[in-house]
Amino acid sequence: MKLLVKNVLPINGDGKTLCDVAVTNGIITAIGRAPEGFAPDDTVEGGGRLCMPALVNAHTHMYMSVLRGAADDLPFMQWLFEGVMPREDKMDVGQAYWGSLLSCVEMIRRGCCTFNDMHLFPGAAARAAQDIGMRAVVNRAVTGPDGGERRINEMLGEINEFKGCRNVYFMIAPHAIYTCSQEYLTKLADIAEELALPVHIHLSESVAEMNDCLRDHGCTPVEYLVKMGFFKNKTLAAHCVQLTETDILLLAEHGVSVAANPKSNLKLGNGIAPVYQLDKAGVNVCIGTDSAASNNSLNMFSEMNYTALLHKGTNGDPTVIPARKAFEMATVNGAKALCIDKLGRLEPGWKADLVLLDTDVPQMMPLRDLYAAVVYSCDGSETDTVIIDGRPVYLHKEFTTIDTEELYYNIRKIAEVI
């Protein structure tokens, strides 16, 4: 399958020269001019739009979009244990499918082509991603020891079911240190090692988690995991808001990636992750939205913008986290954290997950630094076309693979019962 994207401004170009992007079987083969004799099966007219690699949402909970607006302005533990969990208990896999598809639609319309979903219905998320044509990393959030064996068996069943599906990837995901015993965490790290899969965990998200860990284990959550040898696998830690200076050095030393979730952490009053300090220490920092139940949107443009601005403000220094750095955190760093090879750059040989942004809008005029335009001026509504794995999934603001009317009908129905 060959695709030619014509007349676009590459984000890593000079900002003036229009280029064509040639794609063969989901891989970018040329930028500039198509190779001699390149006969595309399909052509997308770029019309002078800005072309960038698609955004990567490194931490989310897909089906929870049906809980959007159900529990706002509550303290974190009350939000989780009273607002979210009782509603989740009522949900079935069919409802989770529609919730996951809603998340896919929201993300694609805002230039994001890959998500990392952790939670109860990974099969629903994988199916939704397959139906719409999105790249999905799915992981069942497991807790234990109570019911832990059953959850591990279900998790292994799901991995077997979707193994071999194109663009579906897996991680092993103990939910958090406060919902898993030490023995259970060790067991999951061993399973990940055996299956050669990366690990995803919520870590140091709140003051309560930090204080409880200091009380129960005499050390910080990061130190607790280091002591048990948990970081022997490639690990992505979500949140990492409450960190000591030693924690930052330990995360760097053990090659742990961190998914910052600026808006969710702010909305739940959990604070601000020390992204600048993590990046400076050599930690691979990427960005997630967390769920629409805590955010309440899945807009990676907005998260990129917050990432760039928050740390200038908190560090009192406008030079930290420049636009280009925030953009890399939202693209190639995310792919690296998810162990997806050659994703997140607009270069020959890299995966063809491409986003075309309108430039005929006031916030993009005049167009100077393209990274600054994307990070500081865009809100994501500029997204005109999204190509995933070399396939136009969203073309001139219309989905080509699914019926959004049917989706919205089902979401309204679900909201009546949950």
Q: How far is the CB of 27 from Zn ion (least distance, A)?
A: 32
Contact at 8 Å (CB) between 60 and 30?
no
| Minimum distance of Zn ion from residue 102's CB (angstroms) | 17
Site for Zn ion, residues 283 to 322, rule: CB under 5 A = 290
Degrees to nearest 5, angle at CA 168 with 27 and 124: 140
- Of 138 and 375, which has the nearer Cβ to Zn ion? 138
Q: How many residues bind Zn ion (CB under 5 A)?
A: 1
Q: How far apart are CA 307 and CA 261, in angstroms?
A: 9
Q: Which of residues 131-160 bind Zn ion (CB under 5 A)?
A: none
Compute the CA torsion angle 108, 111, 114, 117 (nearest 10 deg): -60
- CB nearer to Zn ion: give 220 or 294: 294
Looking at beta carbons only, is 141 or 168 nearer to Zn ion? 141
Whether the CB-CB separation of 393 and 133 falls below 8 Å is answered with yes
Shortest distance, CB of residue 2 to Zn ion, whole angstroms?
39
**Is 143 exposed, middle or buried, given 0-12, 13-18 or 19+ CB atoms closer than 10 A?**
middle
* Residue number closest to Zn ion, CB atom: 290
Kindly give, in sequence order, each residue whose CB lies less than 8 Å from that of residue 296, ignoring residues fewer than 6 positions away.
Answer: 68, 69, 72, 267
* Cβ at position 124, least distance to Zn ion in Å: 17
How many angstroms separate the Cα of 82 from the Cα of each of 74, 76, 268, 387?
10, 10, 14, 39
Q: How far is the CB of 294 from Zn ion (least distance, A)?
A: 8
Provide the minimum distance between the beta carbon of 382 and Zn ion in the complex, in angstroms, as a whole number: 28
Closer to Zn ion at the Cβ: 290 or 384? 290
User: Per-residue x/- mask for Zn ion, residues 251 to 290, rule CB under 5 A?
Assistant: ---------------------------------------x
For Zn ion, which is the closer residue by CB, 20 or 117? 117
Using CA atoms of 355, 361, 365, 371 in order, give the dihedral in degrees to the nearest 10.
-20
CB of 386 to Zn ion, least distance (A): 24
Give whichever of 11 and 84 is closer to Zn ion, judged by the CB atom. 84
Q: How far is CA 214 from CA 167, 219, 230, 251, in A?
A: 40, 5, 18, 18
Whichever of 106 and 290 has its CB closer to Zn ion, that residue is: 290
**Would you give the binding string for Zn ion spanning residues 323-342, x where CB under 5 A is met?**
--------------------
- Give the span between the Cα atoms of 365 and 371, in whole angstroms: 14
User: Which amino acid, 117?
Assistant: D
Which residues contact Zn ion by CB under 5 A?
290
